[in-house]
């Protein structure tokens, strides 16, 4: 194996896979995850933005820089390097054994075999740690802000409550990691779930809030004017694409994914546990939202 083979593996497309909805679903989920879309993070941050503060140029800069670092740099280094050291078949086996195995199992071996590998490895995982910490802060902020704003909790109490839930969930992930617990969470919450919530968000923005009002809000204090073609894309193409994608995936893969076809039967009780955790968190969230809604409900004429 050489550099050319590694680059060819990542950059030579396999057009036969374009008919698989799961490929499109994973790609969409990865884009939404890395840009923090469909998670409530952008919505929460938007509440702290001043009305006349630019969001168009900042949004373009953030998305472009992120995708350049992830797709161009990350895709050009990590996966080709794994192919060079392990070969195509072994790299595929490592990737299929777990969503995070390529980074946490393959890269340490690679760093051991290159000059100054300990230094580069230390730098890489330090940066990865910092990225994980900053992402964790961003992902917990919506829940913390919700408890502060809707239930008037002090920030210290809200932070402790959210982190208590995180500690319990993280303990389960660590204890059952080898059984595919994290991969199951990652798929249903970090891939499928993000696409579902992104579809809901774009429908709410373009059709309920109305794209005309959204377009005006978007350009208040904007340093960059968004081409008008994106008004059409956001109104029609994006929601239709996401809804069709979910529909085709449901037809092609939903049953076998739900029934865990092809997965180790010994791991299935733990995978059901991961699903139960997701359902429990969703139910808790819905109950809290309902409680917050009832608190804000205006009493009727016959109510005291």
First to last CA, the chain: 77
CA R_g for the chain: 22
Distance CA 105, CA 93 (A): 12
Cα–Cα nearest to 218, from 162, 228, 286: 228
CB 223 within 8 A of CB 56: yes
Q: How many Cβ atoms sit within 10 Å of the Cβ of residue 258? A: 11
- State the pLDDT at residue 159: 95
CB 292 within 8 A of CB 151: yes
CB 29 within 8 A of CB 195: yes
Q: Classify residue 151 as exposed, middle or buried by CB count within 10 Å of its CB (0-12, 13-18, 19+).
A: middle
Along the 304 residues of the chain, how does pLDDT read in single tens digits?
A: 566 776 777 778 888 989 999 999 999 998 898 888 888 777 777 878 888 899 999 989 988 988 888 777 766 777 777 777 787 788 777 777 666 777 777 788 888 888 898 998 899 889 888 888 888 888 898 899 999 999 999 999 999 999 999 999 999 999 999 899 999 999 999 999 999 999 999 999 999 999 999 999 999 999 999 999 999 999 999 999 999 999 999 999 999 999 999 899 999 999 999 999 999 999 999 999 999 999 877 555 555 5
Q: What length is written for the chain?
A: 304
Q: pTM of the entire structure?
A: 0.86
- State the pLDDT at residue 112: 87
Cα–Cα nearest to 199, from 41, 28, 67: 28
Distance CA 224, CA 219 (A): 8
Distance CA 240, CA 107 (A): 39
- State the pLDDT at residue 303: 55
Helices 268-296, 117-151: crossing angle, 10 deg rounding:
40
pLDDT digits (tens, 9 = 90+) for 191-220: 999 999 999 999 999 999 999 999 999 999
CB 170 within 8 A of CB 185: no
- State the pLDDT at residue 165: 96
C-alpha torsion sign, points 8, 104, 263, 251: negative
Cα–Cα nearest to 113, from 88, 84, 79: 84
| Structure token pair of residue 276 | 């139960």
* Tokens 């990652």 -> residue: 186
The secondary structure element, H or E, covering residue 195 is helix 193-203
- State the pLDDT at residue 2: 60
- DSSP state letter for 192: I
Per domain, the residue ranges of the chain are: 3-294
- State the pLDDT at residue 38: 83
Distance CA 249, CA 180 (A): 22
């Amino acid at each position: 194996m050489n550099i050319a083979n590694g680059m060819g593996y990542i950059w030579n497309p396999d057009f036969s896979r374009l008919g698989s909805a799961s490929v499109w679903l994973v790609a969409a989920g990865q884009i939404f995850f890395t840009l923090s879309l469909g998670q409530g993070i952008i919505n929460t941050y938007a509440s702290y933005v001043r009305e006349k503060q630019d969001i168009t140029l900042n949004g373009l800069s953030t998305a472009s820089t992120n995708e350049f670092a992830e797709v161009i740099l990350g895709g050009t280094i990590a996966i080709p390097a794994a192919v060079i050291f392990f070969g195509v078949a072994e790299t595929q086996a490592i990737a299929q054994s777990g969503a995070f195995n390529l980074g946490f199992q393959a890269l340490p071996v690679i760093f051991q075999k290159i000059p100054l590998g300990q230094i580069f490895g230390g730098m890489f995982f330090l940066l990865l740690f910092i990225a994980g910490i900053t992402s964790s802060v961003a992902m917990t902020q919506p829940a913390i802000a919700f408890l502060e704003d809707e239930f008037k909790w002090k920030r210290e109490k809200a932070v402790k409550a959210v982190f208590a839930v995180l500690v319990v969930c993280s303990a389960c992930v660590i204890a059952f990691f080898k059984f595919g617990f994290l991969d199951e969470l990652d798929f249903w919450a970090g891939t499928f779930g993000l696409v579902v919530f992104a579809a809901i968000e774009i429908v709410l923005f373009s059709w309920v809030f109305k794209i005309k009002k959204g377009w005006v809000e978007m350009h208040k204090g904007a340093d960059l004017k968004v081409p008008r073609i994106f008004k059409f894309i956001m109104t029609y193409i994006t929601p239709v694409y996401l809804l069709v994608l979910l529909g085709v995936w449901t037809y092609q893969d939903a049953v076998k994914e739900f029934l865990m076809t092809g997965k180790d039967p010994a791991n299935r009780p733990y995978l059901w546990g991961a699903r139960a955790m997701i359902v429990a968190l969703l139910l808790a969230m819905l109950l809290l939202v309902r409680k917050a809604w009832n608190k804000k409900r205006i009493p009727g004429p016959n109510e005291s």
